[in-house]
Structure 1
Amino acid sequence: MSGPNTNYDPVEVAALDPVTVEAARVAALEAAASATTLDELKAARTTHQGDRSALAQANREIGALPPSAKAAAGKLVGGARGAVAAAYARRQRELEDERDARILAEESLDLTMPSGRPGLGARHPLSLVSERIEDIFIAMGWEIADGPEVESEWLTFDALNLGPDHPARQMQDTFFVAPAESSGLVLRTHTSPVQIRSMLSRTPPIAILCPGKVFRTDDLDATHSPVFHQFEGLVVDRGISMAHLKGSLDAFVQRLFGGHIATRLRPSYFPFTEPSAEIDCQCWVCYGQDISCRVCGGFGWIELGGCGMVNRRVLTAAGIDAEVYTGFAFGLGIERALMLRHNVNDMRDITEGDVRFSRQFGMEI
């Protein structure tokens, strides 16, 4: 077997020919110098420094040379690759400096220019009105009571003297929690169940305000919504009469609408109160003196809600001795109070969440 060819001439390897290596070096340096962007330089680096470049192929060929020829070939190729790497690193720094300078010039900020301040939000007027109403009754010595929005049918209807055949028990008025026939649960149609819960858990005297969200199967239009808010008041004690109810309503209306606004009671019917009445308040805009008044329509009175003395059957269902205690209750819509107090004509303005509507009422806390 013959030994290694120690007389092999490396010049015979085309990739290691000094002329070829020098040409590859020059081409790589020219490509680096001519690159005007970082992307162009990246493409040139792939071509002239990548695994398939002429200098990379020459470097791989060194391994096949005899030991006596490797040193010279390595010095030749290594020098060329080192010069190319240095040139590309230098050109990259230059292009990065140019890019940074361009960004500073093109994206500079004039700190003397007035800034466009972001628009401020606003608390929703329903929250403002609700808190104002709560403050009025708290100042009168009442407590705020709350309860769940998913309620039992018994607390929502039966305990309030609304029998199984009452129209309000039908599907067109109430959201029933499925299955409607057996779940016994509804989305509360009023906050009256909070009154029943309070009477079941407390001992008179009781004076509570029950604000909250309620649900009815109405379509959303200018005057109706399937989800709205109301507040109900309840007072139970010995010797409570319609006079106490009338005095409480007068105090509330005057604090909410201002001035010396009077209220009146018109006979009505509600299953949970007896006697029952509709609450009207005097128009705080025209006091009945302007037949063209947009608030009261020229009638001088504005309907607010319903009220009456708590039905004896309701007291008994709640475990209160109707022979000893009497009470009154009333209910008003918070949206209606907002619409009346601030002359809002469309319920959809309240529910759509447009911050421009809420900003009219400020940031009162």
Structure 2
Amino acid sequence: QSQSAAVRYNIDKVKRPGEGATKTKTSAMPSSHVVEKNEEDDDVQAGGEATTTTTEGKGEDDDDGSSSEIRVSSLLLRRSNIVDQLFLKQELLNRREEDILKRSKSLEDLRQRVEREARELEDQKSRFESEKRSVRKYKESEAGRVRLNVGGERFETSIETLREKSGFFKAMFSGAWDTEASEVVFIDRCPKRFPLLLNFLRSDDDNDCLTEYCYETASREGLHEIIGLLREAEFYQIDAAVEVIEEFVNHTRDLATAFDTITLNVGGELFATSRRTLCLCPFFDNLLAGFTNQGQLSASKLSGLQPIFLDRNPKFFAILLDYLRSGCCRQVLSHHISLLPDELLSYFKDDMKNFYELD
């Protein structure tokens, strides 16, 4: 503002002399005075030329100085305006930067809030889907209930439970069965064993419970009851239960037959040993396997029958039995062979190789 006032003052200062001169030249004068003025002008024309020339030169110098001052003042004014504009622009940029920072923070807060609300919405959606599945499963269970009459006893369960693991029930409830309009389904089977199989169908993995039941029942009622349960599982086509029961039955049979006592009559002499010991010899292994496979004898009955008769040398059989009881130890066999008379050695080797099938 001080610079602008200085410029205006200089401009006024420059204009005032010119304005005075103009007024002097253009001011009105009386006519008498004009004549006298002309005469005076003629008299002093010659002498005033130098003065006029000097005055005019001085005026030109004053005009040049005033113009320089005006230009300098204008330049200073423009520079001052540019500086002011730069400061103004800088202030505007600062304000804009602050505004952008505030908006960025607001946007970040808004983003975090949106993400939080999205997570909450996703959790609510998951809970809703879980509840919807539970409701649907309950409705399906209610709609898919079935009543069974197994051998005169009533059972109530769901179709889904029955047909998930049972080929029998899967074929029965294949989709054409109207569960709402149907009456009680009658199945002419043993009602005593069905609850155990139904519990097996209801559980996801009940193999251990089924195996424990087999051990307890076999020890209390015998293996025949487990065989009956196996037949029921085969009828209902419950493959998982069949596998568990068959494994138990086979294992139990192996244990029972391994320690069965078998009596043999070899050349008039009686020998008693276990099935497991005899089966170490290929001849007896094939013999006993043929009995059980053909159904003529079972391993559990061998001990209760008459002794198995073999028309062979009892001394040779005694050596063989001692060899089998030792776990087929070659040193035991060599020891017995060394005690045989030379005339019996060839008969012994022939008997072991051709009859008992030992190398």
Q: What band does the TM-score fall into relative to the shorter chain?
A: under 0.3
Greater share of residues in strand: 1
**Higher fraction of helix:** 2
Q: TM-score scaled to structure 1, two decimals?
A: 0.18
Bigger Rg, which one? 2
